[in-house]
Structure 1
């Protein structure tokens, strides 16, 4: 018996890296998986049906159940069709894992409009489009008297939460927004039986290896050494958050190496107050910094 027996899951960006490990673990734990991956390069350019179908083939070879999807999650109708594919193929949808992402790093002064738009589209719009159509399905189920026990796991990043990274204004902004979207969605969708959480992972993937300074941290371990930065080390947390018995909602977890940390967003650190109207000189003298 697996912790995800009978659950139907859509996992985006599941052809490689962390998403692939999610799909393989979900299938081993008994889930029926829709493996989505457009198959583009790090910048989201091009397409290749191979990665998604390769993961599906591996799952089926190991006795699991999966189908492939190669649509663009940032496209509104494609996201809707992806949710519908899960329902048509497996009779429903219980879990959405939003994982698809790209990088188009550049410093702000030199970033192009297309670099900004492409990253915001795949990460932020892609998360929202999938979440919106899945939420509509679960709302309809709830209204029909079949209250779901569903879960959404979004993918934020330290670049948008605890470790702002120069050169990633587009990526960090999208990931910070995903963390906020997670908290709002958790409050909105609770009435429909849906829990929503997010992870901010660090693991050895083609995207992290392409990020300046991450190569040394992500170095392959020596033979026989435990590989804590393997993408496979991220997926157990996601599987737990996706399980029917998990009570957790409205949380963002950093997961890297051998550590899982619960993150908290913007909060008061130091406050100044006044009994009258604010004066510029008073603010200049007292503003916390």
Structure 2
């Protein structure tokens, strides 16, 4: 990655543990359902490291998807209930599609899923209750799984679409705010080497996906947006087919903010994932 942009203003920071991938023999694997007898739910063991997570607000308008791998946008949503899947699909999907086209100049946007999360003490993610914040450093897609998602989801047009630039962008926003509990941290993609990204199997009932776990490097530079409101969206680059120096993968994770008040309402958030296409 290139040198860090000296115009970015350094803000205050908090220090918190982020869960990187511990050294492992073999390829990491995680089941999204109860694993076969005798198999662990995941072979990816966490390795916590205390890192500085910087306040992104002083330079909030300077962050760029193509330079840093993340950006912040403002958008008031007309969604009446983010817990209503049909309301989200009917109202939020078109809002997000327009926002992504405006920001990226894309010729086509295909939104393929969304996840609502509400933190509940003592509950594991993918259990019987609410989906939980993911407290491990990861990237949702990889150099292999990015194009595969196009083939899986848009098979009739996939090969033509893959001739042009393809991105996968995650739109993350609080449902309630200002958010203080379990905020999202994102690494400046310029500070993360490609060989620190570890392909990991995510096993579903009928398919195997691939994500990146991340090896620790003290050179990684982390940011978060304190007190995010429901009208703020954190955009995360999870894949980019372009290899000419733009940010391609932005590692991210939930973290426990040590400055959050003890009575802070539990985090409620929604993330939406989109394939973003540019004509060849």
For the aligned pair, the TM-score class normalised by the smaller chain equals: under 0.3
Q: Looking at secondary structure, tell me which structure has more helix per residue.
A: 1
TM-score (norm 2): 0.27
Larger radius of gyration: 1
Larger RCO of the pair (alpha carbons < 8 Å, separation 6+): 2
TM-score (norm 1): 0.26
